[in-house]
Amino acid sequence: MRETQDLKVQVAPLSDDLAFLDIVTEWDVESAYQHWKTGILVPETFQAASFPRVVAVCNQKGGVGKTTTAFELAMALIAHGLRVRIVDADDQEASVSVWLRYLLEAHPEDRRLNLRDLFFDAKVKLAEVSYPTPYEGLTLVPSYPDLADVNAKHPTGTDTCLQHHLRKADDVDVTIIDCGPSLGAMTVSALIAADDVIIPVQGASGLDVRGAGALNRTIATVQERMNPDLRVAAAVLTDFERSKIARKIGGSLARAYPGAVILPARTNVKIGEAQLAKEPLRLFAPGSTTVLDYDKGARILFGLGAAA
Ligand SMILES: Nc1ncnc2c1ncn2[C@@H]1O[C@H](COP(=O)(O)OP(=O)(O)OP(=O)(O)O)[C@@H](O)[C@H]1O
Ligand SMILES: [Mg+2]
């Protein structure tokens, strides 16, 4: 790994007596709405992930909560003592690299090795593009906007680049790839490298569910040709509020991904504020419902002992 930072923030686990959502084994779309209680759907067939694990957070629709999901799950996992690497596979300027203050600290003149170099230079090793973050246990593979070259130029080995580097890495327990809003070569490379896909969907947007067809076809193609063990581990209903449409969308996701956890991530204006302040929500608004939801989701997905 590259140079170390002295100041490390220790992220603590949450207390078990907080108001977490209950676990349900079926998503209830039948009972009268006023009796419906929001829960986290964990199908009876669901198996928690083993370690080390590579997880791709994908949806080609923009602004559905991919980066929020990737970052907050990572924060929850490090709070439970796991070592996590976030790979910033999004070429947009407002990416997780910015949220994690990486790009602010890097002066343009001392541009550092980054994810793009892994794709364009076969000699570059994962350790050379992995940087410590201010948070104990969290490593970042950052990117700059010219990561877009991967989709545009498709350098030799693009499809298998992430798989090659991530599958054999044992310096972390979980790698989380934050994909951009596209189904281009970078996202396909992430899906080929991944054990699990997590799909964030806007909790109140019927359009997101309709748009899921293209993503599902891409996942099916990758499963068919390159990564038969890839599974959809979870769909996250982001910006979630208890409503008829949110209940319906949860039901559609449960049908579309019968083995997956359906995790509501309750709405919170503090997320935008946390992003502006370049702080993880978990530290910016520790008691917020969204933090509890991601914490419980992380415990379920990675078998860390479910909170009551
Ligand atoms: N649970 C939530 N409650 C309220 N707002 C949320 C929630 N999750 C995400 N948001 C907001 O939604 C917006 C988009 O979130 P985010 O950047 O995580 O999406 P994204 O899918 O990564 O976007 P992009 O496709 O551009 O990469 C942000 O402004 C964020 O603050
Ligand atoms: Mg994003």
Which helix (H) or strand (E) covers residue 170, if one does? none
Ligand nearest to C-alpha 59: 1
Distance (Å, whole) CA 218 – CA 127: 29
Distance (Å, whole) CA 211 – CA 61: 8
Other residues' Cβ atoms within 10 Å of the Cβ of residue 111: 11
Distance (Å, whole) CA 138 – CA 136: 6
- DSSP states of 66-107: HHHHHHHHHHHHHHTT--EEEEEE--SSSSHHHHTTHHHHS-
Residue 232's pLDDT is what? 97
Residue 107's pLDDT is what? 59
Which helix (H) or strand (E) covers residue 19, if one does? none
Residue 155's pLDDT is what? 97
**Pocket of ligand 1, beta carbon within 6 A:** 62-68, 90, 92, 180-181, 238-239, 265, 267-268, 271-272, 275, 290
Residue 63, SS3 per DSSP: coil
Mean pLDDT in consecutive groups of 10 residues from the start of the chain, 308 residues:
63 84 93 92 95 96 94 96 96 81 58 92 96 93 93 96 92 97 95 97 73 86 96 96 91 92 95 89 92 96 75
Which residues are CB-neighbours of 35 under 8 A, at least 6 positions away? none
Which residues are CB-neighbours of 238 under 8 A, at least 6 positions away? 64, 65, 68, 69, 200, 201, 202, 203, 265
Distance 132 CA to ligand 1 centre (A): 24
Ligand nearest to C-alpha 277: 1
Mutational test site, ligand 1, from 91, 97, 271, max ligand atoms within 8 Å of CB: 271
Distance (Å, whole) CA 202 – CA 264: 10
Q: Domains along the chain?
A: 22-301 (3.40.50.300)
Atom of ligand 1 nearest to the CA of 61: 25
Distance (Å, whole) CA 231 – CA 198: 9
Ligand nearest to C-alpha 66: 1
Atom of ligand 1 nearest to the CA of 274: 31
Residue 104's pLDDT is what? 46
